[in-house]
């Protein structure tokens, strides 16, 4: 079905307007308020609104100026293989006529019914629901962003049928399928909440029951374990108590043995103390005796020793004194030698210094003479320079420029002379009878004349011949030039005081030679040799004076030294004098050391002799004191024999006491007193430990008994058996329920997946078509996912080339318009099969949210639709945006 032409009369703002529609693309452009939407509204009303009526829609279409007549819409369209003409006059007295070309015309209800059949709708609409007629093909202003799969926007049943036809009659589901789906949905919802798939109360209860059983089981196990642990504790404590008693018995026996040994030890210790005292007493007596005896013997020995020591000492004193006197003599000799050596050394030094002063003096004089000679040279050079400068000043001032000028003038003059010479005419009288005059000159035979100017040659008086040398005035010019150059040359030479150019050249050469000589002389004078000559001369004179003064001073000091004749001899003599001076100095030094050493030796010997004398005196004094002391001691403690007898008796008593003590100590050692102490500590520790262990095990026993005492109200063994059985039952119930729940959920999920797979197979051609349209706008690879339940299309998402899926409601306003248009166009393609393969699609300002670039892309989508036999009608207030659509355009003015 497609629209061919539409004519409106008295419809809202339109008095009368006719619009022709192309089979493919038609663009209706015009500014806002110009009545674009009114045109497609009128078309829609003509197709779907019953002509006769007085609804709000009828009233709304009446023009503002009611006098013009009722709103009338005529439509030419193609449907069911024919072209039809429909005319509807709207209003209470409205009418409808419909006729096919070449056929009879229907009117009234018959026309309305036939029209509805052609359009595939239930019947003419009287008002309500009018806007929804062909809502999938008619994008009213503001509806372009609606979900195109919404049942109000899409004739789902019709499209489903069409898709089924396309897919060879694929069945989505059967009655039994649906029943099973409902069954498994219901069963699954028994166990899992539909909202989020969490377990429902039934499943949760089983889980809770299982958990409670596990808890009960754990408690029962714990209780029985406590009971059994108490039994083990009781038995263990009992066993340990028995062991404890045995240990206590063994400890007591050990303790009594220990006490007996301790008694023995105590008795022995008392005896030991007494014997120690005896030993001490005897030892003290013996020690006293021995001390006196030893003191006397010591002093006697000391006396002998002193007597032996004194004699050699007095000999030694006299020997040392002799040696000291001899050493003093040696020291005096050495001092004399030292004095002589120093005198010789001073003389050698003076000779050396004199020679050195002489050499310095001579060298200073030499240097002064050299400088005086250079001064003379300098004065001569200055005189020569002044002479050269004078000589150069006398020469004419011919510089290179003037010489060049002279040379040029000379050359030019020679050229001018040559030219004049070449222009002159020579006359020679060979023979004449008559006087021949050339100008003022009279020619004579054999005397050639040269004329250079215009001259009249008269022979006699009748013959006058004018001669013009050179034939013209050029000879005169040449001569003038010659004269000018000669004058200029002469003037220049005159200014220089020269006669010829050759003289000038000569002068120039002389100047150059002199200038070179002057420069050389100046350079020589300015050299370093002369620059500081004056200072050097002064310094040299001072040096000579100073060296002379030094020489004179040393000469006066030195009486006998003859000075050499010349410098060379002096330098030779100086080296000899240096060696002599060094030798003398070395000898003086050695003499110093010898003298010092001899003096020290003499002093040392004198000190030693003194010390020996003092020591001898001390020893003699001590000897006398010792003799007195010894005499006194012997008188007090007896003589040597008496003392020896007493000493032997005391020693015997000490030995006897020590033997007794040693025996007692052996007995003590045999008892191992340390071990006895340690044993006592160990036994106390063990007894304490046993006491503690006994108490602990007793407490443990009592505690276990308390736990084990039953009042017959509980049986933990039986309780555990019950808990185990209950747990097993709960597990079984839980497992069975979980299996049931999971199995029905699996069945449900599998049904859902199967359903989805079938739906995808079924919707695949539609999805493919939509993708084709979307590619025009979003690029290749863009597609939609379209869910389909057995009842309806449900859920549209856009999938970009990168795989991201965005549900339709989440798309931007622009994208929604574009996706909706693609879905509607694709759906229209399938639906068009019932309408001779074509259907109109109306887009009334449907891309308000799309930017200009997208609108351009959309045009290729609309063009694709037209190429697939859809009749695309676009209304826009910006026709320029659709310039590339290539549509037939109908423009409306304001």
Which residues bind to another protein, rule: CB under 8 A?
170-174, 176-177, 179-181, 183-184, 187, 227-228, 230-232, 234-235, 238, 704-705, 707-718, 721-722, 724-726, 728-729, 739-740, 742-744, 746-747, 750-751, 753-755, 757-758
117 vs 74: CA distance, rounded Å? 18
Which is nearer to another protein, 139 or 181 (by Cβ)? 181
Q: Which is nearer to another protein, 210 or 385 (CB)?
A: 210
**Nearer to another protein (CB atom), residue 600 or residue 728:** 728
Q: Which residues contact 101 (CB under 8 A, 6 or more apart)?
A: 82, 83, 84, 85
Alpha carbon distances (Å) from 292 to 122, 286, 476, 876? 164, 10, 176, 154
| Residue closer to another protein, measured from CB, 424 or 737 | 737
Of 616 and 707, CB closest to another protein: 707
- State in angstroms the smallest separation of the CB of 860 from another protein: 39
Order of strands, sheet of 25-29, starting from the edge strand that comes earlier in the sequence:
138-139, 840-844, 871-876, 25-29, 888-891
Query: Which tokens in the block code for residue 308?
Result: 């032996």
Shortest CB 222 distance to another protein, Å: 15
Phi, psi of 5, rounded to the nearest 5 degrees? -155, 150
Q: Which is nearer to another protein, 238 or 247 (CB)?
A: 238
Shortest Å distance, C-beta 26 to another protein: 44
Half-sphere exposure of 381 (CA within 13 A, CB side): 19
Using the minimum distance from each CB to another protein, give the nearer residue, 234 or 882: 234
Which CB atom, from 287 or from 754, has the smaller least distance to another protein?
Answer: 754
Task: Report in angstroms how near the CB of residue 796 gets to another protein at its nearest.
Answer: 23
Which lies closer to another protein via its Cβ, residue 178 or residue 321?
178
Nearest residue (CB) to another protein, 326 versus 757:
757
CA 264-268-271 angle, 5° bins? 150
Is residue 457 within 8 Å of 438, Cβ to Cβ?
Answer: yes
What is the closest distance, in whole angstroms, from the C-beta atom of residue 800 to another protein in the complex? 30
Cα separation, 378 vs 527, in Å, equals 10
Query: In 395-435, which residue ranges form alpha helices assigned H by DSSP?
Result: 400-423
Calpha distance 698→543 (Å, rounded): 129
| Cβ(814)–Cβ(137) below 8 Å | no
Q: Which DSSP category does 428 fall into? A: -
- Report the alpha-carbon distance of residue 585 to residue 590 in Å, rounded: 9
Dihedral over Cα of 227, 228, 233, 239: its sign = positive
Residue 664 C-beta: closest distance to another protein, Å: 58
Smallest gap from residue 825 Cβ to another protein (A): 30
For the record, the structure tokens of 798 come out as 């856009």
Could you give the maximum distance between any two Cα atoms of the chain, in Å? 213
The closest of 480, 485, 419 to 493, measured between CA atoms, is 485
Nearest distance in Å: CB 666, another protein: 54
Closest CA to 158 of 840, 785, 832, 819: 832
8 Å CB contact between 98 and 85: yes
CB count, 10 Å around CB of 522? 14
Shortest distance, position 184 Cβ to another protein, whole Å = 7
Residue pair 829/136 in contact by the 8 Å Cβ criterion: no
Nearer CB in complex with another protein: 603/740? 740
- The residue whose two tokens read 């499943």 is 203
CB nearer to another protein: pick between 467 and 758: 758
Select 265 or 726, whichever has its Cβ closest to another protein.
726
Closer of 440 and 712 to another protein (Cβ): 712
Residue 842, classed as helix, strand or coil, is strand
d(CA 745, CA 750): 8
What distances in angstroms separate CA 283 from CA 241, 836, 866, one per listed residue? 62, 157, 149
In the complex, least distance from residue 238 CB atom to another protein, rounded to whole angstroms? 8
- Measured from the CB atom, the residue of 464 and 725 that comes closer to another protein is 725
DSSP classification of residue 104: P
Q: What distance in Å separates the CA atoms of residue 798 and residue 276, rounded to the nearest whole number? A: 121
Minimum CB–partner distance for residue 807 and another protein (Å): 25
Q: Find out whether 337 and 595 touch, Cβ atoms under 8 Å.
A: yes
Nearest approach in angstroms of CB 754 to another protein is: 4
749 CB contacts (<8 Å, ≥6 apart)? none
- Of 539, 569, 583, 559, the residue nearest 358 (C-alpha): 569
Taking the complex as a whole, the smallest distance from the CB of residue 808 to another protein amounts, in Å, to 26
Distance CA 49, CA 124 (A): 6
Is 707 within 8 Å of 169 (Cβ atoms)? Answer: no
Rounded Cα distance, 377 and 537, in Å: 14
> Are residues 199 and 797 in contact, defined by beta-carbon separation less than 8 angstroms?
no
Shortest reach from residue 726's CB to another protein, in Å = 7
Between CA 849 and CA 141 the distance in angstroms is 12
Shortest distance in whole angstroms from residue 723 CB to another protein = 8
Minimum CB distance to another protein smaller for 138 or for 227: 227
Helices 567-637 and 201-394, axial angle in degrees (round to 10): 140
Minimum CB separation from another protein for residue 717, in Å? Answer: 3
Tokens of 369: 């003479």
87 vs 748, which CB is nearer to another protein? 748
What is the closest distance, in whole angstroms, from the C-beta atom of residue 719 to another protein in the complex? 9
* Closer by beta carbon to another protein, 279 or else 701: 701
| Rounded Cα–Cα distance for residues 616 and 621 (Å) | 9
Query: Minimum distance between the CB of residue 810 and another protein, rounded to whole angstroms?
Result: 30
Helix (H) or strand (E) holding 632: helix 567-637
């Amino acid at each position: 079905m497609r629209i061919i032409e539409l004519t409106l009369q008295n419809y809202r703002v339109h008095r009368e307007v006719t619009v022709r529609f192309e089979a493919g693309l038609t663009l209706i452009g015009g500014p806002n308020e110009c009545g674009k939407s009114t045109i497609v509204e009128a078309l829609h009303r003509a197709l779907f609104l019953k002509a006769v009526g007085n609804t709000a829609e009828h009233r709304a279409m009446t023009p503002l100026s009611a006098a013009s007549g009722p709103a009338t819409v005529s439509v030419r369209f193609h449907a069911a293989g024919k072209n039809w003409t429909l005319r509807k006059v709207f209003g209470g007295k409205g009418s409808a006529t419909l006729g096919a070309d070449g056929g009879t015309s229907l009117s009234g209800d018959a026309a309305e019914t036939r029209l509805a059949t052609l359009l595939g709708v239930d019947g003419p609409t009287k008002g309500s629901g009018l806007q929804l007629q062909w809502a999938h093909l008619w994008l009213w202003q503001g509806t372009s962003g609606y979900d195109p799969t919404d049942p109000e926007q899409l004739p789902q049943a019709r499209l489903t049928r069409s898709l089924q036809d396309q897919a060879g009659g694929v069945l989505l589901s059967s009655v039994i399928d649906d029943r099973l789906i409902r069954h498994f949905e219901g069963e699954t919802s028994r166990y899992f909440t539909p909202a989020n798939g969490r377990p429902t109360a039934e499943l949760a209860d089983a889980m809770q029951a299982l958990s409670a059983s596990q808890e009960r089981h754990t408690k029962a196990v714990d209780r029985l374990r406590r009971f059994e642990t108490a039994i083990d504790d009781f038995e263990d404590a009992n066993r340990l108590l028995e062991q404890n008693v045995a240990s206590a018995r063994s400890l007591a026996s050990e303790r009594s043995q220990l006490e007996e040994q301790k008694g023995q030890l105590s008795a022995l210790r008392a005896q030991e103390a007494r014997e120690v005292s005896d030993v001490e007493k005897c030892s003290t007596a013996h020690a006293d005796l021995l001390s006196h005896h030893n003191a006397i013997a010591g002093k006697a020995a000391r006396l002998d020793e002193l007597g032996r020591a004194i004699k050699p000492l007095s000999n030694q004193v006299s020997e040392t004194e002799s040696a000291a006197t001899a050493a003093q003599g040696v020291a005096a000799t050495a001092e004399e030698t030292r004095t002589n050596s120093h005198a010789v050394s001073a003389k050698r030094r003076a000779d050396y210094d004199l020679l050195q002063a002489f050499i310095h003096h001579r060298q200073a004089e030499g240097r002064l003479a050299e400088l005086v000679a250079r001064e003379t040279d300098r004065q001569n050079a200055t005189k020569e320079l002044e002479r050269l400068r004078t000589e150069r000043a006398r020469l004419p001032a011919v510089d290179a420029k003037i010489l060049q000028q002279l040379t040029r003038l000379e050359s030019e003059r020679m050229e001018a002379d040559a030219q004049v010479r070449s222009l002159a005419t020579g006359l020679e009288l060979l023979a004449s009878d008559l006087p021949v005059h050339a100008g003022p000159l009279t020619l004579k035979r054999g005397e050639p004349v040269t004329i250079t100017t215009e001259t009249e040659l008269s022979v006699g008086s009748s013959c006058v011949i004018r001669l013009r040398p050179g034939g013209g005035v050029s000879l005169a010019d040449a001569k003038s030039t010659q004269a000018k150059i000669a004058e200029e040359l002469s003037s220049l030479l005159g200014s220089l005081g020269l006669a010829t150019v050759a003289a000038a050249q000569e002068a120039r050469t002389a100047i150059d030679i002199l200038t070179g000589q002057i420069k050389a002389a100046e350079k020589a004078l300015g050299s370093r040799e002369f620059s500081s000559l004056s200072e050097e001369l002064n310094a040299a004179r001072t040096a000579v004076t100073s060296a002379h003064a030094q020489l004179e001073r040393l000469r006066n000091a030195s009486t006998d030294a003859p000075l050499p004749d010349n410098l060379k001899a002096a330098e030779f003599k100086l080296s000899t004098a240096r060696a002599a001076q060094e030798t003398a100095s070395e000898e003086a030094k050695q003499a110093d050391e010898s003298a010092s050493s001899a003096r020290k030796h003499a002093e040392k010997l004198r000190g030693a002799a003194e010390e020996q004398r003092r020591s001898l005196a001390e020893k003699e004094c001590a000897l006398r004191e010792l003799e007195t002391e010894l005499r006194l001691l012997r008188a007090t403690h007896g003589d040597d024999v008496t003392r020896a007898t007493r000493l032997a008796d005391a020693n015997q008593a000490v030995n006897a006491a020590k033997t007794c003590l040693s025996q007692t100590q052996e007995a003590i050692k045999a008892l191992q007193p340390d071990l006895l102490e340690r044993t006592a500590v160990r036994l106390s520790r063990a007894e304490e430990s046993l006491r503690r262990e006994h108490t602990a095990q007793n407490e443990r026993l009592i505690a276990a008994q308390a736990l084990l005492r039953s009042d017959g109200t509980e049986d933990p063994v039986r309780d555990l058996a019950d808990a185990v059985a209950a747990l097993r039952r709960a597990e079984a119930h839980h497992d069975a329920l979980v299996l049931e729940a999971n199995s029905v959920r699996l069945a449900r999920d599998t049904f859902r997946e199967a359903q989805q797979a079938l739906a995808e197979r079924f919707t695949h051609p539609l999805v493919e078509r939509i993708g084709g349209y979307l590619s025009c706008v979003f690029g290749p690879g863009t597609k939609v996912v379209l869910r389909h339940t057995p009842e309806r299309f449900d859920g549209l998402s856009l999938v970009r080339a990168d795989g991201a899926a965005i549900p339709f409601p989440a798309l931007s306003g622009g994208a929604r318009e574009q996706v909706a248009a693609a879905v509607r166009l694709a759906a229209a393609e399938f639906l068009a099969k019932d309408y001779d393969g074509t259907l109109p699609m109306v887009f009334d300002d449907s891309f308000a949210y799309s930017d200009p670039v997208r609108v351009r892309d959309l045009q290729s989508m609309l063009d694709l639709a037209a190429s697939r036999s859809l009749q695309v009608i676009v209304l826009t207030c910006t026709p320029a945006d659709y310039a590339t659509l290539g549509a037939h355009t109908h423009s409306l003015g304001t």
